[in-house]
Amino acid sequence: MKTSILKLSGALFLFLGMTIQANAQDIEGSWKGTLSVQGMEMPLIFDIKTEEGNLSSTMDSPSQGATGIPMDVTTFVDNTLTIKFNQAGIKYVATLKDNSLNGTFHQGGMEFPLNLEKTEKTLPGNTDLPTSEADLKKLANWNPTNYKYSVADYFARPKARSFQFSPDGTYLSYREKDENAKNHVYVKNTENDEITRVIEEKEELIRGYGWANDNRLIYVMDKGGNEDYHLFAVDIDGNNQKELTPFDGVKVNILNGLKEDKDHMIISMNKNNPQIFEPYKINIVTGELMQLYKNEDAANPINSYDFDKDGNLRGFAKLRDGVHIDMYYTEDGENYELKKELSWKDTFSISSFNYATDYPHDAYVISNLESDKAQVYLYDLKEDKVIEKLFSNDNYDVSGLGLSRKRGYELDYFYYEGEKQVIVPVSKYYKKLHKKITDKFPGYNYSIPDATDDESKYLVFIQSDKLYGTYYSYDAKTEEFKLLYNLMPNLVEKDMAEMRPITFKSRDGKTIHGYITLPEAALKGEKVPVIVNVHGGPQGIRDSWGFNPEAQLFASRGYATLQVNFSISGGYGREFLESGFKQIGRKAMDDVEDGLQYAIDQGWVDKDNAAIYGGSHGGYAVLRGLTKTPDLYACGVDYVGVSNLFTFMDSMPEYWKPYLKIVKEIWYDPDVPEEKAIMEEVSPVNHIDKIKKPLFVVQGANDPRVNIDESDQIVSGLRAKGVDVPYMVKYDEGHGFAKEENRIELYEAMMGFYAKHLKPKIKQPIKG
């Protein structure tokens, strides 16, 4: 039995769980205590309640952002509580006296006193602020309901999705939604059509899943959106399910699936230090871990690892002094030599090692060291020199390339994103496949989400601005396509709105790209209300052409949607990206405003009926827009947005802390007086008096990126001035709503908000 007491900054950190089984009502409720281990104080809260005649409980560890952790087995006999968490080898024995539990915690031969006091269960943030469900329903009722498509038509998850072949093609896996909107994972035998439910989704969402080998699946989950992902595995018959990383407060990343080693994969975890990640080889059957490299310099941590197909660590990138990147590479497999000293702003990444040659040091590298746009090179890592430039585009960064493992790692294609997705075939084989797909589906985007190892079967995903998405299977032997699944057959293509790429000049002369989605009335020459949807990030993120449920919903209600890839957006080269550094809330907002003016000048939209909406940085842009240009927008919807740049930086997750200097170079540095003054200027919470248009605020209580305090600050500040701000908070969500019922409720309220505040106004709420 492995211990779950782990080293953390020279102290011992503890992970535990429990379940209570008793009849005594006195034991029900919330119990709070502090475990002291070698000078480290760790608060713990246990919430105990009765379910079907038995007691059950969950645990919160506030210092680690872990909430609602389900417990195992416990007894309460003769006033003595005995708790056992079998997987971690934990036992806790305590005596109940009045409102106290006095006991001892045992683990791994060690004992620690742990006393718990009866307390009131607390939720994140100020629980007095959120708007009641009844009032949010009244807000939603402002939106008419006599539309052809409901909000749920756009935002309910597809009945089935996430299709994948097993490596040998014997099975097809997929997620299927039940009547309670739970999305379970099923496996279908392609030879006899037998279907097995392999993974059951319960309270916590399955955040992703995939095939580890022909017989075993892996999947990841967190707790209520806190993004501390745990890794699980299960056999294709649903047996031998195991949590592989049962470490609370620890986040897992998958680095390498190890196609050549069916029982292992390479992951990284911040298990030994919450701020930095280290690589491990993990057995997907037993959970046995082998640490592959130590990341011990917390001040200058390794922030990325390059493993080859056989699981050998060939190189890594080390963050130095918070802003420099040192690239290390090994020629002999043991000694790692410094090869490059770069700025964090430089792009130099190994897309894949070149396994098609006997020379072991060739690699495909994406780099902008010799150009403004990222390009693909064949690179000699030993000699640290370019062998050949393979592909570039004058206007856009190259995104990546594709190789064929089956055909000796032949180079198949390059791809980049311009106005739309572009795939450039290279190999003779892929040119033929590309032509087959594009001839069959002209005008659509396609991707190949999966193929069997022998390349006999392909999954082809087809999408456009009007098509939500359709899966086809392609048989390489017969060269035939077969419709596998239409994700949203209820959304008829001809009823959907066109998303048009647009280009305009900003006030400082830059060429800016974006998209406009126009409703039917605009196509007939009417000036319509517009929702300016500002993307998150903001650095390196961009809006893209394709099916956008938000834009389609808005168009169905008569609103245009404007999306601007403002300065600091990704994909347009280094100069464009960096032109937005230290311009968040300033130049970036200017570009958005210029995009709105462009749409007005084209005669598409009504200048007096513009709403601003966005999530994360987009939510910040809403608040900034309502304070920077208070007369420009008729209303705004802030979705998990930053309101105070100072508290935002102070509340970052631990694993973001090594990158704080980079964040300061992108945003602003409060230690530089001139930049501190800018931060005060562009922090919306400091300019609440300027907000004079209606605002709707939305927040996930467990958000690890934008703390709930960001939304609480803006809502409480406006409420203090007598402004009525509808405020939706979900206590089972994080950075954006992932649960279907919450997403639908959000967009129903949002559409009611727009109906109420964008002309033509509805005079009275619609009853319903």
Give the C-alpha separation, 576 to 571, whole Å: 9
Q: Is cis: bond before 760, omega within 30 of 0?
A: yes
Q: What is the predicted pLDDT for the residue at 457?
A: 97
The span from the CA of 174 to the CA of 172, in Å, is: 7
Burial class (CB in 10 A: 0-12, 13-18, 19+), 317: buried
Identify which of 224, 227, 228, 225 has the alpha carbon closest to the alpha carbon of residue 247: 228
Task: Output the CA angle 470-476-481, nearest 5 degrees.
Answer: 30
Give per-residue pLDDT as tens, 28-45: 888 888 887 656 677 778
Q: Tell me if 42 sits within 8 A of 49, measured CB to CB.
A: no
Confidence of residue 112 (pLDDT cuts 50, 70, 90): confident
- Sign, CA dihedral 541-156-182-122, equals positive
Residue 38: predicted pLDDT? 59
**Residues 382, 554: Cα–Cα separation, whole Å:** 54
13-27, 110-124, 340-354, 569-583: lowest mean pLDDT where?
13-27
Residue 87 has pLDDT above 80, yes or no: no
DSSP-derived letter for residue 25 is G
Average pLDDT, the chain: 90
Q: What is the pTM of this model?
A: 0.83
Show the 3-state SS of 438-461: HHHCCCCEEEEEEECCCCCEEEEE
The pLDDT, as a whole number, for residue 767 is: 41
Question: Residue 623: which residues within 8 A CB-CB, separation 6 or more?
Answer: 636, 638, 641, 642, 643, 684, 685, 691, 695, 714
What separation, in Å, do the N-terminal and C-terminal C-alpha atoms of the chain show?
A: 57
CB 534 within 8 A of CB 126: no
Classify each residue of 43-64 as buried b or exposed e, where b means 16 or more C-beta atoms within 10 Å of its C-beta: ebbbbbeeeeeebbbbbbbebb
Q: What is the pLDDT of residue 23?
A: 46
User: Considering only CA atoms, which of 510, 512, 514 is closest in space to residue 501?
Assistant: 514
Burial of 647 (0-12, 13-18, 19+ CB in 10 A): middle
Mean pLDDT across the stretch 501-505?
Answer: 98
Name the β-bridge partners of 199.
185
Report how far residue 109's alpha carbon sits from residue 87's, in angstroms, rounded to the nearest whole number: 15
Please tell me what DSSP assigns to residue 525.
T
**What pLDDT score does 768 carry?**
38
CA atoms of 100 and 118, how far apart (whole Å): 6
Query: What string of H, E and C letters represents the secondary structure of 62-90?
Result: HHHCEEEEECCEEEEECCEEEEEEHHHCE
98: confidence class by pLDDT, cuts 50, 70, 90: confident
Q: What is the pLDDT of residues 662-693, one digit of tens each?
A: 999 999 999 999 999 999 999 999 999 999 99
Is it the case that residue 58 has pLDDT exceeding 90? no
Percent helix, percent strand, percent coil in the chain, to nearest 5: 20, 40, 40
Structure tokens at 280: 């491990």
DSSP state of 767: P
* pLDDT the model gives residue 15: 30
Range 553-580 average pLDDT: 97
On the 0-12 / 13-18 / 19+ scale of CB atoms within 10 A, 629 is middle
What number of other Cβ atoms are within 10 A of residue 201's Cβ?
18
Residues composing the chain: 768
Give the residue among 723, 689, 696 at the shortest CA–CA distance from 711: 696
Q: Do β-strands 727-730 and 695-700 pair in parallel, antiparallel, or remain unpaired?
A: parallel
Asked if 421 contacts 415 with a C-beta cutoff of 8 angstroms, the reply is: yes
Handedness of CA 150, 155, 157, 162 (dihedral sign): positive
Give the pLDDT confidence score for residue 29 in this predicted structure. Answer: 82
Tens of pLDDT, residues 159-185: 999 999 999 999 999 999 999 889 999
Share above pLDDT 70 across residues of the chain, in percent, rounded to a whole number: 93
399-456 confidence digits (pLDDT tens): 999 999 999 999 999 999 999 999 999 999 999 999 999 999 999 999 999 999 999 9
What span, in angstroms and rounded, lies between the C-alpha atoms of 40 and 12? 7
Mean pLDDT (whole number) for 313-319: 96
Q: How confident is the model at residue 13 (pLDDT cuts 50, 70, 90)?
A: very low
> Tell me, what's the pLDDT at 765?
46
Lowest mean pLDDT among 3-12, 464-473, 658-667, 717-726: 3-12
pLDDT digits (tens, 9 = 90+) for 238-278: 999 999 999 888 999 999 999 999 999 999 999 999 889 99
pLDDT at 18: 33
Strands laid side by side in the 183-189 sheet? 160-165, 171-177, 183-189, 195-199
Q: How far apart are CA 199 and CA 234, in angstroms?
A: 8
Helix (H) or strand (E) holding 349: strand 348-353
Average pLDDT over residues 742-752: 97
Dihedral pair phi/psi, residue 29, rounded to 5°: 120, -165
Rounded to an integer, what is the distance from CA 238 to the centroid of its chain?
27
Specify the amino acid at residue 339.
Answer: K
